[in-house]
A and B are shown apart, each in its own frame.
Chain A
Amino acid sequence: MNHVIIVLALFCFNFISCNQSQKKKDLAIKVDSSKTSIKYAKGFDIQIFDTYKKLIIKSPYPGAEDHQEFILIRRGSNVEMGKKIIEIPLEKIVATSTTHIPMLELIEEENSLVGFPHVDYITSSKTIERIKNGLIKDIGNDQDFNTEVLLDLQPNAVIAFSMGNTTKMFETIEKNGIPIIFNGDWLEETPLGRAEWIKFFGVLYDKDKEADSIYSAIELAYNNAKQIAKNSINKPTIMSGVLYKDKWNLPAGESFTAQLYRDANTNYYWKESKGQGSLVLSFEAVYEKAKNADFWIGSGYFTSFSELASANNHYTEFNTYKNKNIYTFSKKRGENGGVIYFELAPIQPHIVLQDLIKIVHPELLPEYKPYFLEKLE
């Protein structure tokens, strides 16, 4: 009998505590009810509370174990949180990747950009105009800023990216009270995940709604294009990349680019390979597999067939070369020579996908004119 009571008591206790934790969860969900829906991006999250928002950077750099968390409060409001607090909307920032620029332009906040490393990479004409007018300072190398110039700019935040653990340089900047927010858009595996980083800028500028609606339009266009591609019965074979000396660099099977090839309803030879970055293969391996490929998408900096042949005669042995089916992203360049694709593609995955579909399944998009992808001359 005693046992029964104990068991019952335990059961009750369990039940009650379960119930309580359930309540707590419910409460948390309630607070989170207006949480922005991050659907595809895996690298960040936004939580919205009554008086503040929380920006969580889940993968600040490759292999990162720690998350970055920022409490975002409206400028002027009195909130004591003790953690990393950023007053929003941001008014003055330093960005570090060209992919940040079109996102700022889309939410009409490009005027807040005051510093950028290696401004020559930028291709956006709006921003180039501001550089010419001296409104954007060059802060040096992208992994080694000119710290003095940066500190002198006194931005509200630095939107950085890092290849590895945080460096000394970032510590110095943070010590001076300028928060470093790591933007991991380049680590996303899916095209829609990358584009979703516009919501990251949305929340920092208190323009969540604008960012959400821009993103929804991109998502819709992308998924529509993907549906259109499914209408084709044939799956053309795709090869990619170029040789660096005797090593062939091409996108790995889990990369952003490989996902685009998949969504365009093609058969990319290395679709099964592991990894999100690029593969480094021998010439033999690529030649054996891709000699008879239908299309060659992405031929490095080469923009003509003759350049390709003079760089390495092996290229001419591929059927894609013989049939003149090689396309590149590098032909469209900005005023200062930067490749437009690198800057715009992450926020325009729907256009990249449509470009691909137009080239591999021309019958599906008869009226469409590709923007990024062009045939070699």
Chain B
Amino acid sequence: MKSFTSYKFAFLLLFLVLILFLTINISYGSVNIPFKDIFTSIFKNEATKETWNYIVLNYRIPKAITAILVGSGLAISGLLMQTLFRNPLAGPYVLGISSGASLGVAILILGSSMLGGSFLIMAQSSIFLSIASSVGSFMVLFAVMIVAKQVKNTMTILIIGLMFSSLTAAIISVLAYFSSAENLQQYLFWSFGSLGNLTWNEILIFTIITFAGVILILPTLKPLNSLLLGENYAKSVGINFNRTRNIILVATSLLTGVITAFSGPIAFIGLATPHITKIIFNTSNHKLLIPAVALIGAIMMLISDTIAQLPNSEFTLPINAITSLFGAPVVIWLLLRKKKLIL
């Protein structure tokens, strides 16, 4: 076990790296804005060009904040799922929560062509999309919770979650088959994921809900460590297992639901970040792991977004392609070096 001061140092270092990539993320984009103007627009709101002010203050900074929230939220959800299910392959997707969110959006976007009228307009609105997505993820969570009451075994819940994902995916393909090309395209764009179209108001809601999710898990930090040794061990040391499990489920669905609502399904980060973090920190203490995955998740999202913007070109890439393209090799490389997976 490393000394406490060395962890302090590691956190400081990670925090500096986060600030560095945040600066890089804000400085680079399709439009080439000189570094000096980035600063004048942030601090004095008077860049050389009026459009630059708007781009930096109302596009790039909200996008960077979204990246940080999405990255840390998904990473925390992933860590919680992996610990709860004691399965290195678990992530925010396993309970079908993300799929539930996708189903909500699919019904709104793809169903709008069948229902027509005001649904067509609603499908274009980001607020309705967020509502549909949250409702979808909570519906699936609700179903999982009911099942969880009946079934005591965590593995069974995991499998039932996977079945929910398959079910929702199937419903989405049926909807897609019958919907118009235009709606299908809109749904596809949503499923690519995106960080860059939130207003300051939406960012505020996003931040509040994300923090609520994080605060929820604070009392579970200690039980989480015992959970690693199994349900029975946790129970034997006097932990209210069912309560802990339910808190974790609610927190995860809240985080995943709101993230999927605002930025679409973002792949890979939730699964990979906990592994990367555990390899770097070499600990399984959740008091350290939770802030660490949050920081590393945020850094990974910022890097992915910077790459996706293809600095200085007018074109951009879907964020989901980058998170996987850039992230998967990193995990493989780290695992090959360590030659074993820490749970």
Interface residues, chain A, CB within 8 Å of chain B?
118, 121, 141-142, 144, 243-247, 279-285, 287-288, 291, 300-302, 307, 310-314, 317, 337
Contact = CB atoms under 8 A, between A and B. Distances in A.
Interface in B1-50: 29-31, 50
A302 B122 CA distance: 11
Nearest to B197: A246
A282 B197 contact: no
A243 B29 contact: no
Given A301-B120, A311-B125, A282 B189 contact: no
Given A245-B190, A246-B195, A301-B182, A311 B124 contact: yes
Which of B58, B190, B316 has the most CB atoms of chain A within a 10 A radius of its CB? B316
Which of A247, A302, A307, A312 has the most CB atoms of chain B within a 10 A radius of its CB? A247
Contact of B30 (A141, A243, A282): A282
Contacts of B96: none
A288 B31 contact: yes
A288 B125 contact: no
18 contacts: A244-B185, A280-B316, A281-B315, A282-B314, A282-B315, A283-B196, A283-B197, A285-B30, A285-B31, A287-B31, A287-B51, A288-B31, A288-B55, A310-B127, A312-B126, A314-B58, A317-B58, A337-B116
Which of A285, A300, A337 has the most CB atoms of chain B within a 10 A radius of its CB? A285
A247 B318 CA distance: 9
B194 interface: yes
B282 interface: no
A283 B315 CA distance: 10
B314 A283 contact: no
B316 A281 contact: yes
B180 interface: yes
A244 B180 contact: no
A245 B125 contact: no
B262 to A, nearest CB: 11
Nearest to A313: B199
Given A281-B30, A312-B126, A245 B199 contact: no
Interface in B149-203: 177-178, 180-182, 185-186, 189-190, 192, 194-197, 199
B316 A247 contact: yes
A307 B125 CA distance: 8
Nearest to A308: B124
A287 B192 contact: no
B177 A246 contact: no
B59 interface: yes
A121 B180 contact: yes
A282 B125 contact: no
B197 A285 contact: no
A251 to B, nearest CB: 14
Contact of A246 (B116, B125, B127, B194): B194
B281 to A, nearest CB: 33
Contacts of B63: 246
A245 B194 contact: yes
Interface of A is mostly: mixed
Interface string B223-237: 000000000000000
B239 to A, nearest CB: 42
Contacts, number: 91
A310 B121 CA distance: 10
B304 interface: no
B71 interface: no
B213 interface: no
Contacts of B60: 284
B54 A287 contact: yes
Given A279-B315, A313-B199, A317-B58, 8 more contacts: A141-B177, A246-B63, A282-B314, A285-B314, A288-B52, A301-B120, A337-B113, A337-B120
Contacts of A282: 29-30, 196, 309, 314-316
Which of A244, A245, A281, A311 has the most CB atoms of chain B within a 10 A radius of its CB? A245
Question: Which 3 residue pairs of A and B lie closest in terms of their CB atoms, listed nearest first?
Answer: A246-B196, A245-B194, A244-B189
Contacts of B185: 244
Contacts of A314: 58-59, 197
A302 B124 CA distance: 8
Contacts of A285: 30-31, 314
A291 B31 CA distance: 13
Nearest to B123: A301
Nearest to B182: A301
Nearest to B112: A301
Contacts of B194: 245-247
A288 B125 CA distance: 24
A246 B124 contact: no
Contacts of A311: 124-126
Contacts of B315: 279-282
A280 B315 CA distance: 6
A312 B199 CA distance: 8
A313 B203 CA distance: 13
Which of B51, B181, B190 has the most CB atoms of chain A within a 10 A radius of its CB? B51
A307 B55 contact: no
B59 to A, nearest CB: 6
A291 to B, nearest CB: 5
A21 B154 CA distance: 83
Nearest to B188: A244
Nearest to A291: B51
Contacts of B257: none
Contacts of B121: 301, 307
Contacts of B195: 246
Nearest to B316: A282
Contacts of A243: 197
B73 interface: no
Contacts of A283: 59, 196-197
B55 A284 contact: yes
